[in-house]
Structure 1
Amino acid sequence: MKYYAGLDVSVKETAICIIDETGKICRELKVTSHPDDLASTLNNQTYSLARVGLEAGPLSQWLFSGLAEAGLPAVCIETRHAKAFLKAQVNKTDRNDARGIAQMVRVNLFRPVHVKTLTSQKRRALLTARKLLQEKAIAIENDIRGLLRNFGLKVGIVRTIGFEARIRELIDGAPELGEIISPLLAAREKLRTEFAKLHQKVLDEVRDDGTCRRLMTIPGVGPVTSLAFVSTIDVPARFKNSRAVGPALGLTPVLNQSGESHRVGRVSLCGDGMMRALLYEAAQVMLSR
């Protein structure tokens, strides 16, 4: 007899539900959310697991890799499908969610999610950290502009490299204001310095990757966009053809058809939001320059 396991993952513990091919619950328990603990629990001679399902989330890549290395037939379930399926339950608990996920993998009512390779995960982490530092630095610059505007001091249009000099010029002769703005300038300088280091790492990654260099020959595509695209696609063979990439990135319209009604809506906005934003930016550059 085949058995199926559903895992509801949280930070500390994971609820596990094992059912047989008829849907009967065979075992329920909670285990520490660590691949080794989960693998030792699920690699039980009593139950020959045909599929182990877990919902996509922050820990799913780490847990999936550990379960796969242990020889378990793990599958990562698309979040929207899991939410729609589990929403039918009256009471939402970890145990009920694990039961629902187990039933999903038993009846095959789910869409598997591709789990990225370790290289792509590291590249994505690099891009995310780079973007975070950039956004924080820009936020501080905008806050400084707003604070000075209250005193009638207008920064105006100034490039990043000359921003601090312009601010120093404005607050010269106002020591009390300087005591407030100087710590912000110091924080901005630190963020910009660390951002430059991460940006250099991005350039180094792109320089050593032939696919990234080839993508950069396209007008509007720079090192960040090319590296993000390569890390997002990860394994090109997982797509049936090039036309399947658009829907995966949420760039195709939503269709709403019922009876005589047939409406083509906005793009679905599913998938990777960062990659979609970078592609929009690249397209805008291509059209305007």
Structure 2
Amino acid sequence: MVAGKLMAHMKTKPKQATIVGVDLSDKKHQICVLDKNGEILSERTIPNSYAGLEKLSADYPEALIAMEVGTHSPWISNYLKEKGHKVIVANARKLRAIYCNERKSDKRDAQMIAKLARVDTSLLYPIEHGSVENLENRQRIAMRDTLVKHRVALINSVRFSLKSLGLRLSSPSSASFSSYARKVLCAQPSKLQLVESMLVVIEAMSDQIKQADRHIKEQMVTVLPESKRLMQIPGVGALSAVSFVLTIDDPWRFKDPRDVAAYLGLVPKRDQSGEIDKQLPISKAGNRQMRTLLVQCAQYIMRSNSPDCDLKRHGERIAARGGRIAKRKAIIAVARKLSVTMLTIWQRQIEYQPLVAIKANAV
């Protein structure tokens, strides 16, 4: 009778709240498990595999799991969420208590992550990874970017090699470089033979980049139709529009559209104390590739032959202050304003108006 009551009590007893701090690594993850009072229940390593994560989930069901952002955090966080855990992915750039520790180790890092998650998860400056489909699409764009960079490196290698032999090649478009080089070198077979293997690789890369561009345009029609609306802005192409939609993922994550500029690292850092408020460069936080694309779009908008618009006039007012620094600041300011404009168009589902300020004044 007593044994039966005891068993019933054990079955109805609520689960003890546990917090798991995970320091991610390529082969093994260091974990630190705390109870609700902050006492360490377990410290050990687990293999970086689905089997290891499944065992961790089974050992501590419904536990709060915290980890630093990194190469493995996207798929691991998605997997653990599917297992019913609340997962916190910490912003590594904000965790000064970890990376400035004089006695830094994987074990101490896991302890610190777990303790911060227990006290207040906001101390970890949590970030959100996108869905698996979103991450795969972003990786396709990242791979295209890698192909473009390597193609440029190979083209430069060919040009510099030929320059050392007394032949200077001009710089046509990267896509047509191989055919142009063969045309120039047809009268010099020895030099053509020297660089032929490089030209073949450059051609293959160009074909793959074209395929990636076609895939991006297909995404605009089938998967990400909202990106097509963003292309109404002059200078914003298919790659920039699709990348923006994939990077932001949910437009309503920002209550104020101006917050997107800070999310993408386009606002200045700040170091203010008392009467001192230093002027610092932009933070460069967030997605570097998206920030680069926005700057490239801003450079197009600021061209002398580009269409007139509020974005361009905003940049021209800043550039009019004079000097090279003013021009660079103007480009960043236009990129910042462009990101806010793109998010506003996406949130409100409105058409792009290039000269809103002029129309408002006329009214």
Matched letter for residue 68 of structure 1: K
Q: Tell whether 2:74 aligns with 1:56.
A: no
Q: Tell whether 2:88 aligns with 1:94.
A: no
The superposition leaves residues 144-201 of structure 1 with CA deviations (integer Å, 9 ceiling, x where unpaired) of 1111111221212433454333322433343332221111111111111111111111
Q: Tell whether 2:214 aligns with 1:200.
A: yes
Contact 1:153 1:170 in 2 (8 A): no
Matches within 5 A, 1:140-159: 140-159=154-173
Mapped partners of 1:157, 1:41: distance in 2: 55
Contact 1:13 1:31 in 2 (8 A): yes
Q: Hey, what does 1:133 align to over in structure 2?
A: 147
- Aligned residues between the structures: 286
Q: Hey, what does 2:119 align to over in structure 1?
A: 107
Matches within 5 A, 1:1-289: 2-44=17-59, 49=63, 51-82=64-95, 84-87=96-99, 89-108=101-120, 109-160=123-174, 162-208=176-222, 209-288=224-303, 289=306
Kindly state the Cα deviation for residue 39 of structure 1 after the two structures are TM-superposed. Answer: 3.6
Mapped partners of 1:130, 1:114: distance in 2: 24
Structure 1 length normalisation: TM-score? 0.92
Matched letter for residue 190 of structure 1: A
Contact 2:78 2:131 in 1 (8 A): no
Q: Structure 1 residues 188 and 97 mapped into 2: Cα distance closer, same or farther (>3 Å)? A: same
SS at match of 1:265: coil
Matched letter for residue 128 of structure 1: A
Point out 4+ residue stretches in structure 1 off by more than 6 angstroms: none
Q: Structure 1 residues 43 and 238 mapped into 2: Cα distance closer, same or farther (>3 Å)? A: farther
Q: Structure 1 residues 20 and 279 mapped into 2: Cα distance closer, same or farther (>3 Å)? A: same
Mapped partners of 2:216, 2:145: distance in 1: 11
Kindly state the Cα deviation for residue 48 of structure 1 after the two structures are TM-superposed. Answer: 6.5
Kindly state the Cα deviation for residue 38 of structure 1 after the two structures are TM-superposed. Answer: 2.1
Matched letter for residue 118 of structure 2: R
SS at match of 1:252: coil
Matched letter for residue 94 of structure 1: D
Mapped partners of 1:158, 1:168: distance in 2: 13
Kindly state the Cα deviation for residue 3 of structure 1 after the two structures are TM-superposed. Answer: 2.4
Q: Which blocks of at least 5 consecutive residues in structure 2 are unaligned?
A: 1-15, 307-363
Mapped partners of 1:48, 1:212: distance in 2: 37
**Highest RCO, 1 vs 2 (Cα 8 Å, sep ≥ 6):** 1
The higher radius of gyration belongs to 2
SS at match of 1:156: coil
Q: Which blocks of at least 5 consecutive residues in structure 1 are unaligned?
A: none
Kindly state the Cα deviation for residue 10 of structure 1 after the two structures are TM-superposed. Answer: 0.9
Structure 2 length normalisation: TM-score? 0.74
Contact 2:32 2:107 in 1 (8 A): yes
Contact 1:36 1:66 in 2 (8 A): no
Contact 1:15 1:98 in 2 (8 A): yes
Q: Hey, what does 2:354 align to over in structure 1?
A: none
> What is the identity percentage for the equivalent residue pairs of Structure 1 and Structure 2?
27
Kindly state the Cα deviation for residue 207 of structure 1 after the two structures are TM-superposed. Answer: 2.5
SS at match of 2:281: strand
Matched letter for residue 169 of structure 2: V
- Return the structure number with greater helix share: 2
Kindly state the Cα deviation for residue 237 of structure 1 after the two structures are TM-superposed. Answer: 2.3
